[in-house]
Structure 1
Amino acid sequence: MHRPSVFYSILEPIYPFLVQQFADDYGLNRGIAVDIGTGPGFLGTELAKITNMTVCFVDLNEEALQSAKERFMVSETDNEALFVRADVKALPFEDGFADFVMSRGSIWFWEEPEKGLSEVYRILKPGGVAVIGGGLGRYVPDSMRRRIVAANRDRLIRSGETRPCFKDFSRMIEDALLEKAGVDSFRMISEGEEGDSGKWVEIHKNGDGKRGGLS
């Protein structure tokens, strides 16, 4: 899940905006948050800056986790933090562990997304929420959005890399959640009308902890 540093340097300005959006949308302040596929730890660190949540940074790549730990340490936040090397399809947390789970940009690299999504659902507390996908969020200023999109496009052209395709995201998620993971309490979120605009899935666990019922 660890990506080249140039990728994160382009995206770095968006993380405070995206985390503030999450905090506002889901009323985040206390409890346990899990940042899956954390990479250098931008999301988790920014969340710690504006909430009192315990943040669990999770990545399969040891180098990425070390980078996340270093970033968190220099942020001088006082939140409790855990750094866990794990695969999303076998998370080492008990059932009902987390109040909030977030993951940006990693699901396209999961080998078995249905198992990962099932694990995300399993570790959510009743009443908890997870938001997983990719995009820049609603709070990013238009000028910043245009600059980042252009810079990332140029980077991909120079490197020959391909960007995650958002066009089939809804189909992939619905197949993984409904047919394989057995999670049906979710909704799709799109950042725009274009096929390659940001896409997210918001997963809710019912208050009784049972599966079922579209939120």
Structure 2
Amino acid sequence: MHEKKDKFDKKGAGGMDEIAKTLFAPIYPVIAQDVIDRFGITEGTCIDIGSGPASLAIAIAARSSLSVIALDSSGDMHEAASRNIAKAGLSGRIHLLQGDVHDIPLADDTADLIVSRGSMFFWDDIHTAFREIYRVLKPGGKTCIGGGFGNKELRDAISAEMIRRNPDWKEFNRKNISPENVERFRTMLNEIGVPSFEILYGDKGFWIVISKTAGGALP
């Protein structure tokens, strides 16, 4: 299996990079700080899955001592990410890794923290993807995977502009963060046997928090 939209051309990667550095720019520091405040994980290894132009990876690294692995299936996105990481002065702290969430090229128990914003809605097989995420998470580690805009004010302002640019975006976003989609992911996590998880749903978006137990391989 492969992530949908995993073959970005340079134009597509450039468009994502541009919107991440303009309209979406305010959300990444807010999300990063919320993750750090919530879990208190500031050292070790973080994986940003579907990292795109590395906006969230940069925000996490800038607010912690974590070594961040920016995982994305697109080489063109990594070109943009490399430029952004260098500009932020974080080349020694953020490492680019090309790979697919359905077959993460990392060893078991690698990450203290796993984050991802906006990527999981494009994954072909969420059962396989979350099995892989659980595999590479260390015992005692945490995930914060989902979608959102940081807070209500940012959500409302960005949503209004996105709808102005493309009216179809309203329905696309509604489906992604709908109660029905929340239930779909909840069902999946129960089906694959994740023993400890929480789904956060509200003004900050839709986020899946997983806590891995010691010796906790999935059945």
TM-score by length of 2: 0.84
User: 1:145: how far off?
Assistant: 3.5
User: 1:191: how far off?
Assistant: 1.9
**Counterpart code for 1:204:** S
Q: Distance in 2 between matches of 1:113 and 1:121?
A: 12
Q: Distance in 1 between matches of 2:198 and 2:217?
A: 14
1:177 is matched with which residue?
A: 189
Q: Select 1:45's aligned residue among 58, 63, 81.
A: 58
1:210 is matched with which residue?
A: 216
1:150 is matched with which residue?
A: 160
1:201 is matched with which residue?
A: 208
After TM superposition, which residue ranges in structure 1, 4 or more long, deviate above 2 angstroms?
A: 1-9, 77-81, 158-165
User: 1:156: how far off?
Assistant: 2.4
User: 1:160: how far off?
Assistant: 9.5
RMSD value, Cα: 2.2
Task: State the aligned residue count.
Answer: 203
User: 1:108: how far off?
Assistant: 0.8
Q: Tell whether the 8 Å contact from 1:188 to 1:199 is kept in structure 2 after alignment.
A: yes
Q: Distance in 2 between matches of 1:158 and 1:189?
A: 25
**Counterpart code for 1:146:** D
2:89 is matched with which residue?
A: 76
**Counterpart code for 1:175:** T
Q: Which moved more, 1:89-98 or 1:76-85?
A: 76-85
User: 1:182: how far off?
Assistant: 2.1
User: 1:28: how far off?
Assistant: 2.3
Q: Distance in 2 between matches of 1:45 and 1:186?
A: 26
Cα offsets for 1:55-82 (capped at 9, x unmatched)? 0000111111121111111101364322
Q: Distance in 1 between matches of 2:169 and 2:162?
A: 10
Q: Tell whether the 8 Å contact from 1:129 to 1:203 is kept in structure 2 after alignment.
A: yes
Q: Select 2:201's aligned residue among 173, 190, 204.
A: 190
Q: Distance in 2 between matches of 1:37 and 1:15?
A: 14
User: 1:176: how far off?
Assistant: 1.9
CA distance 1:175–1:13, change in 2 (3 Å)? same
Q: Tell whether the 8 Å contact from 1:37 to 1:58 is kept in structure 2 after alignment.
A: yes
Q: Distance in 2 between matches of 1:70 and 1:16?
A: 19
Q: Tell whether the 8 Å contact from 1:132 to 1:200 is kept in structure 2 after alignment.
A: yes
TM-score by length of 1: 0.86
CA distance 1:184–1:156, change in 2 (3 Å)? farther
Q: Tell whether the 8 Å contact from 1:18 to 1:136 is kept in structure 2 after alignment.
A: yes
2:117 is matched with which residue?
A: 104
Q: Which moved more, 1:150-159 or 1:68-77?
A: 150-159
Q: Percent identity?
A: 29
Q: Distance in 2 between matches of 1:200 and 1:158?
A: 23
Q: Distance in 2 between matches of 1:166 and 1:29?
A: 28
